Amino acid sequence: MPSTISRSQLIGLKVYTMDAKYVGVIKDVGFDLNNPSNIMLIIETGAGKIVELPMKAISAVGDIVLLSKDVEIPEAKETVSETMVSATKPVQVSPTTQVTVSQPAKQATPTAPVTTTTPVQWAIPRCPKCGSALIYYPQYRRWYCPKCREYVNVSPEILARVPRCPTCGNYLSYIEQYGKWYCYQCQKYVNV
Contact positions toward Zn ion, by CB under 5 A?
127, 129-130, 132, 145, 147-148, 165, 167-168, 183, 185-186
Chain Cα centroid distance, residue 177: 19
3-class secondary structure, 86: helix
Closest distance of CB 165 from Zn ion, Å = 3
Cα 55 from Cα 65, distance rounded (Å): 11
If one counts every other C-beta atom within 10 angstroms of the C-beta of residue 187, the result is 7
Nearest CB to Zn ion, comparing residues 30 and 138? 138
3-class secondary structure, 27: strand
Closest distance of CB 168 from Zn ion, Å = 3
What 8-state DSSP symbol labels residue 63?
S
Closest distance of CB 117 from Zn ion, Å = 20
Chain Cα centroid distance, residue 39: 30
What 8-state DSSP symbol labels residue 1?
-
Closest distance of CB 185 from Zn ion, Å = 4
Nearest CB to Zn ion, comparing residues 10 and 165? 165
Nearest CB to Zn ion, comparing residues 24 and 125? 125
Nearest CB to Zn ion, comparing residues 54 and 128? 128
